[in-house]
Structure 1
């Protein structure tokens, strides 16, 4: 008989597990970036993320079906503005009873192979916990394959109870209620991530401008040499 499913309170992730990473909220306009990120996953990663080897068309339907008005999607961008890691926080639809809101949310995450080992998965999980708390969610749920040890380890370190049932596992994390500190922390995180993104956009624009000037300079140099020959 499996052990009872308890839901201990969330614990802070180990402070030294990763450095602070800016996590940006994604919106409908980011669907193409989300799709490109997921399509870049190989068969093994698709299997761990979705529980089966999702085809390109299945991934396309998943991305098209994301409800940005109900759920939250977060991403980590590199300096080239590629989406290298993303998380989907899907909120349980509320009941039809007046005044009832979602009380649970399901967390799913993916990290591209080039960005592994940098703590992006743990950072996205911590970010999702914070946002879920501040929306009044009391339980975070993760459905994962039992062989997805990296994801289950992140949940366990945060204080979740993991119940394994053959090839599948479920982690449940009881979240504390929101407070002033959690709301200020979310505000700081979101604003810092937005500033980081704008800096990266500006850096890309400067790089493009410098590359253009370099190309023009090279063209003039070639033209000048041809005229002197």
Structure 2
């Protein structure tokens, strides 16, 4: 008899109790154990005290909203965060992405889309708790070194604090070093969803990645924008 895998722990932070219940009921048979918190402070406390694979975080909550929760959370955690926006407004998406959200989902989402997005953001962040053995071949670009197995990125010997999606984008660009990656291919590769011409999520994540690399978009050391196409990681390896 094939053993049943343990349920995957998920935290939903939303003041809409009915929606939380619907999410829990849908995800339970798909292998998720859903905990719920209905305000920002309790959500933060739960994340810090638990071992969740991901957080589903509402933007609009009274008192401490989702953006404030995410801002505080990113000071100490890189746990995958999927933001819920009431109307799917682009402004909310961009703010959330700039604060370190991995993805966003409008509250008009379908159950299948929710499941697909959760699987995508958690798949990017899967790392062995015991730590993977060092790879025999790091991805290198000058002083920038990325090890996929240990999920560690360093610049001039200093560890970079990257979200799972930022790490995935950087890894993808490193593997294509010296070649252009279109926005479409980057988004499909790291997010497992189709590209929307109005979707600026990749641009926002690249902007955040540049900031952490200390890179200048006008005079890039690493990530160069290819206007109208996508991005290219400059090959600075001697």
TM-score (norm 1): 0.27
Q: Which has the larger radius of gyration?
A: 1
Which gives a bigger RCO, structure 1 or 2 (Cα 8 Å, sep 6+)?
1
TM-score (norm 2): 0.26
